[in-house]
Structure 1
């Protein structure tokens, strides 16, 4: 890998293209890694089949993955095969020629077409190896040499090698048991033997979750067998037409009654791929007791339901499938069931793999289903079962380390108090991590069932949640971090940590709204809040003045341009309809804000866990479709809630009609105009885990909008956990949106008047944080680059791109610097201690930081 990075960084290669041969699991991972290299321009995946992951997915599932790959800017070619490598006069790779005559320009080729067992040592030692397929082992994993064993990808068991982690771990478990547990002080135990390994996989590839489990190609496999039998019957029929046949023979050739099916199964094999090879040679036969070429009659289960909504039936097969496809969300599910719907045989998932652990367990145990097959797709309408109550104790939860539900439950009974404890004791969740969400739900359910209190402490320094701490600070009127620590802290003399200090800083601002640079509060803030600007990758800061609803006068736009030119700042329009100016030196921040505040700008709080923007369309002011004055309402909301600190950032949006140009349904609170008022949406967000906002109230009169939003925001500030967005806050709220409606609209708790009064008091404390700094020379001292000199140093090289400055790219190599006394011009005998600064210049605080 290091050699590849060095090669890609060469001047003759940098900026070129790369090609990846193979679109399977390894191929997609390789393509993502190569695409992440800054020195590679374009990446092309060349695959022998028409869609990626053809060993795990069918056409529909593979198509969704292909779309996601191409959305990332990676080209997918398939079905395609490379015929020649094209080189330049110097012998370096320049392109790949395909069998159709086309070429793919590339300077790097990565081959990811499967594993090659490293069995050279075994060959040299005379140990039997499978023909090109690894070191041959028996059921006990022993090679042809006594007392020599082989496990993992190099081992060939029954002619198969396995490149997945689960079979490797299973082999290791079997061998470890046989070497250590068959002969013990308490007796002898029967050695374990290798069985067909579980080839179920669950991975995140190219940004999409993909999983396959059980006999995920059962439908195609049986259809292939049926086609072969149909051909055999056709040949028999042709022969029968040429000779005289008896009435008995004619009767035998008549169509079967509706209640029986004639199926002749050939040797079990995987579905045929585009190149004529079988997609997998490790699939097990899910129908037992049938010999190759035999014809059997199977009565149809007359008790099974006749309705087949959402299912497809494979001709002459004993399986049925239930599928779900949502190309807009990138989700595809296909589950394969026995014909009577009583057993699930396998399936595949793309985009949503939440039920993977449960379904794998059902396939492995061959348990009869207790719910209709359709429920696996559409759900039951309840959250029951999310904690695995319906799973047996021997159900495997972690396939990477073969940890069962029973082991996790026993671990909890033995005193495990956190997920970290379970990971340490069982190794569950320390592999791919795919089992962690399920394991967390199981942990919480079992702890609750046992009557144990699940700790929701803010951190080790406070034995209470953020919501409880908020109430304590409020009712005891505590005003500083040290007062809070001395009153309710676990250790009264502690100075806190990086978790509780910002959280308490936010609580104090939400209640009392004192300046965050006051000596009592400054040490509680993280870097962005401490300097009231967002720090960038080169150590400079960004400046974002408030532009309410995106409305700005030409004169103010000119001021922004003048400031940016004067201080050499990079400018960009943000998604929140503001102008962001990047590259400000810390020491320049007070001067920049002096010019901005003089022009009438205020802090945009882009650096804080506070209201950012209230985005707006032009509404009835200009738009011929508008039915609501979205600009005026957005400005009113932004002016009201500006500066309010909350558990996490808040974003709003106001759209003047249902065309939704302001994207109000992707915000923490959003309003859409109707002919009767405003529809209020809450708890939406974009980002890593987008969530569509939920309709909270319909046709709200304009006079009531402020009251409802006051209640919503204040209740969120009161009750949310640290760093919790409104979307997750609502998702984790018991009772969900209906409970929130009862609290904030029906006032079932009798707190709505208090919430409105608290918001009114908080709004009344607003002041512009940057204006306070500009007017206070003492606060400006915090922005000096050096406390003992006015000298300034630029720390990171800048370059110009598209007419604007930006930080230069990081160097690819950092050669070590070796210093010695000989490098210093002053002899050691003349070295002296020098006073660097006065202690007072560092502004020490009781919090232990400066």
Structure 2
């Protein structure tokens, strides 16, 4: 008989307990089935493990399943090894018999017992509130009810702790039953501040305040100065903060809390507050009452409680272990997820890994670094920052402080006494460089920069912090990706030993960068360095479809006079077997090159499918799928008649209007089908396209100059108008902005533009390569004292040289920074014609200038092109908004997206999409398929079955693009992708839902289509989420998936049909009205709108979420 499997009982199913179980399953996966331990998990809450870090987000959706760390399928998949007993509290341990007892009277033996019982809220002694009653759910009897002998008035309603989903449900219920006007939060730590925000934003409380007994907020994370800066920022938001405030009594009226007293009555500094609700968030205490029943465990009573453990998480009983907040390691109980997860990983490895007997893993001092965003304010602390305020240095350390109260920024960095190493820091208001600084604090290498260079915030350094610091200089054990705990050494090894030569390959090998993506710049830096050590160069190709840089492609197109994407792909595309052409990177990049050289209409039949959504529909796509309309106002000069015309058009179509920073008027809220008519009205009023949608010249800003200003030296308005009309419509690698100032007072801000002119007595000073934005750069002087004609020539050369040589999506500022020789070399090329190409550059620019056509004028006079803007290709006369519009300050705008994206209602994931194998399609594989249809279905998905529904003519869909179809109350997207197969079909058709599940935007049909490793895909135009058209799977987030549908083409008629259920059946799943963002979205409760499609869709669970890079979260 085979020996019985080892039984490991886990008590506590919080975040740490779940992580331990996951790691145990992972480490035992390589063992034979009979060697894998049997795991039984007890959780006292009815919910399985959920994400307490995101507890506050529960108010956005009120759906517990969205917080679950694992979907139900995970437990089903591992049921042979893991048994979950939710809602079953363990009340005693008989360590002699190795048995645990539950409150239901059950007994269960164990070989090893792991306690992950976590912590409970700390309830300070307050007169009028019974602690036993308040914490009954944790310490009560079998029914979770307090057995205290207090009088009923000691149990006032309206007093809550902030710990579990049940607590939050109780708060919501109470706030709905009683009109809560004032609320007080006791405790100024992270969770207390979260609770304060909840009262204001989710419970609608007008008067919200926080009371803390400490001198400042967030005492565990911040020093006094940082805490006081946080107070100033929070108070500026309208909240009230009381420090050094110890609550002494809560008074009830008719059983409801009504008044809170601070300090002893009559004592100096005492006061009272009228309140309708009180939330206690004064810290946590380790949950060790169960451990004490064993009688064999050593408790850490001298240091605040908890179960004493060693470096291997072992207790004084050889069969019992403890992890998480209930464990006391070297006198320290950790309330952070990071250290608790580390404990779980150490213990799981040691319990099942055979090599652990010889070399067990150990837990050392936990990393208590944190980076948080509290009510929009960055707060971070890392390393050792605990120098006392009145002692700015000690024998081993010194600190540097940066403080800007006006900007709400406080930064304190602590260094070793010799200044060679960073020990830790506190960041309030600007923590953009937290990742770099925290890694420096962990490194043992001496700093290569001065300590003072690290002190200013990124916002004071033009958007870049950590001056002179590189990940390359860090130790190999420096953590680069904290989402998946990947070190610098592991990344370098992936490049060096496993042949990874792209950031994507590194992610596939190590999991670095595949979660939040915040560490990808660091991965790129390490990739370049490691490839250099190997004597290799990093592939700077445009993308996988073209093994050339943008600059190389530009010259290829120019020299070979290539006029189309297909021609370029056939002659210079990558040698792959893929049947689909291009992607969302190369298609618009090549479109820009073609436009910069030949200046053909960007929305011609061949060019339109190459354009990103903005260029394809000649407007900036906004939230919800509407567009903005920005007519050109050259130099900012506009007549009263045109101002009136703009106002009348805005009123006619209900458009939101706003003055832009580029001295023109932006009209928002136009639906796609409205654009041609709106622009027809604008063209008739004398306007033309402002190209706000394109990588092209936007504006040339001007001051009034010598025509009006008493200081003006020259006619800046006139010259700005001339330059804007000269360069209008010219496509470039990125957007271009100009400015002309009439004197050195610089009212047009010319030195923050891609090109700018400042008038002087001698002529104009020409500045280039400046920009604002997230990483501002002051423009650099190219030439001084030049006349207008010279300005034109130099600008022609400068702009054309930039268009020729810049990388894709590279602004002029970054281009100059990367240009070998910098501004001196640029002067040699533009001013001195060092390369002998000045005449050629001027001629190229002249071609663009003289072949300019207003794109919207071409559209509004062409009925065929106007058809491209219909919302529904199969029902052109119908239209519908993709988002609710609300009134604000006399205008209408889209309803706010929920502050927490979990509040968005989700389309249930399809259980049986018609899919094909996920291997890349090749010419051979596609030639074997039926050219008239997409892949066969595996089984029925709808109770009423599916039938073929005629939709439209195939010629009404442009090649390599998509259209929207209306079916009942649902929106579908139909895509037509050209293939490069030498025989067989010349194109293939794919159909999916039209709504991108990332932000519930009905826009997928407008996205760029192309190839992803041999598979057809579409990129959502809102946030570029990419979906495989054959499977519906999202390449960027496994939580998102599209419904896909089979298509059929009748070759004799050219009609396209889709295999669909009845309208009613499909509307149950995809009706637009169910998912359209509305102003009431924050109150949406999925439990009241459940849609069930087959059993596998009913649970609606959410995959485990991960924190962002460099982000440790608190486990409450």
| Coarse TM-score class (shorter-chain normalised) | 0.7 to 0.9
Instruction: Describe how 1:326-341 pairs up with structure 2 within 5 A.
Output: 334-341=412-419
Secondary structure of the structure 1 residue equivalent to 2:646? helix
Change (3 A) 1:464 1:634: same
Aligned-partner Cα distance in 1 for 2:858–2:511? 53
In the alignment, structure 2 segments of 5+ residues that lack a partner are 1-55, 63-170, 264-268, 458-463, 909-943, 961-976, 979-986, 990-1004, 1006-1116
Alignment size in residue pairs: 743
Aligned residue among 514, 529, 535 for 1:451: 535
Aligned-partner Cα distance in 2 for 1:710–1:361? 46
Aligned-partner Cα distance in 2 for 1:727–1:23? 44
Secondary structure of the structure 2 residue equivalent to 1:149? strand
8 Å contact from structure 1 (residues 82, 96) kept in 2: no
**Aligned residue in 1 for 2:717:** 631
1:713 and 2:828 are equivalent in the alignment: no
Aligned residue among 350, 357, 364 for 1:195: 364
**Aligned residue in 1 for 2:308:** 136
Change (3 A) 1:690 1:386: closer
Secondary structure of the structure 2 residue equivalent to 1:612? strand
Aligned-partner Cα distance in 2 for 1:164–1:192? 20
Aligned-partner Cα distance in 2 for 1:691–1:374? 22
Instruction: Describe how 1:276-675 pairs up with structure 2 within 5 A.
Output: 314=393, 317=395, 319-325=397-403, 334-341=412-419, 345-349=423-427, 386-388=469-471, 390-395=473-478, 397=480, 403-414=486-497, 415-429=499-513, 436-490=520-574, 491=576, 493-675=579-761
In the alignment, structure 1 segments of 5+ residues that lack a partner are 224-312, 818-827
1:779 and 2:949 are equivalent in the alignment: no
Aligned residue among 942, 948, 954 for 1:839: 954
1:29: how far off? 6.5
1:506: how far off? 1.9
Aligned-partner Cα distance in 1 for 2:256–2:769? 55
Q: Higher relative CO (CA 8 A, sep ≥ 6), structure 1 or 2?
A: 2
Q: Which moved more, 1:510-519 or 1:405-414?
A: 405-414
Aligned-partner Cα distance in 1 for 2:252–2:639? 58
Change (3 A) 1:595 1:389: closer
Change (3 A) 1:459 1:547: same
1:553: how far off? 0.6
1:91: how far off? 7.5
Change (3 A) 1:355 1:810: closer
Aligned residue among 325, 334, 339 for 1:153: 325
**Aligned residue in 2 for 1:822:** none
Change (3 A) 1:156 1:727: farther
Aligned-partner Cα distance in 2 for 1:781–1:59? 64
Secondary structure of the structure 1 residue equivalent to 2:321? coil
8 Å contact from structure 2 (residues 192, 282) kept in 1: yes
8 Å contact from structure 1 (residues 603, 768) kept in 2: yes
1:198-225: per-residue Cα shift (whole Å, max 9, x none)?
444455666666554443223558x4xx
8 Å contact from structure 2 (residues 754, 779) kept in 1: no
8 Å contact from structure 1 (residues 648, 723) kept in 2: yes
**Aligned residue in 1 for 2:245:** 81
**Aligned residue in 2 for 1:803:** 890
Aligned-partner Cα distance in 2 for 1:119–1:657? 74
Change (3 A) 1:190 1:382: closer
Change (3 A) 1:333 1:438: farther
Q: Which moved more, 1:751-760 or 1:152-161?
A: 751-760
Aligned-partner Cα distance in 1 for 2:622–2:447? 54
Secondary structure of the structure 1 residue equivalent to 2:792? helix
Aligned-partner Cα distance in 2 for 1:735–1:538? 45
8 Å contact from structure 1 (residues 541, 586) kept in 2: yes
Aligned-partner Cα distance in 1 for 2:275–2:805? 55
Q: Which moved more, 1:44-53 or 1:835-844?
A: 44-53
Secondary structure of the structure 2 residue equivalent to 1:791? coil
Change (3 A) 1:719 1:39: farther
**Aligned residue in 1 for 2:1075:** none
1:741: how far off? 4.2
Aligned-partner Cα distance in 2 for 1:346–1:626? 52
**Aligned residue in 2 for 1:4:** 59
1:267-296: per-residue Cα shift (whole Å, max 9, x none)?
xxxxxxxxxxxxxxxxxxxxxxxxxxxxxx
1:624: how far off? 3.0
8 Å contact from structure 2 (residues 209, 242) kept in 1: no
Secondary structure of the structure 1 residue equivalent to 2:952? coil
Change (3 A) 1:508 1:31: farther
TM-score (norm 2): 0.58
1:512: how far off? 1.4
Aligned-partner Cα distance in 2 for 1:799–1:356? 38
Instruction: Describe how 1:26-41 pairs up with structure 2 within 5 A.
Output: none
Secondary structure of the structure 1 residue equivalent to 2:698? strand
1:603: how far off? 0.9
1:762 and 2:835 are equivalent in the alignment: no
8 Å contact from structure 1 (residues 587, 785) kept in 2: yes
Change (3 A) 1:657 1:353: same
1:701 and 2:865 are equivalent in the alignment: no
1:640: how far off? 1.4
Aligned-partner Cα distance in 1 for 2:178–2:897? 18
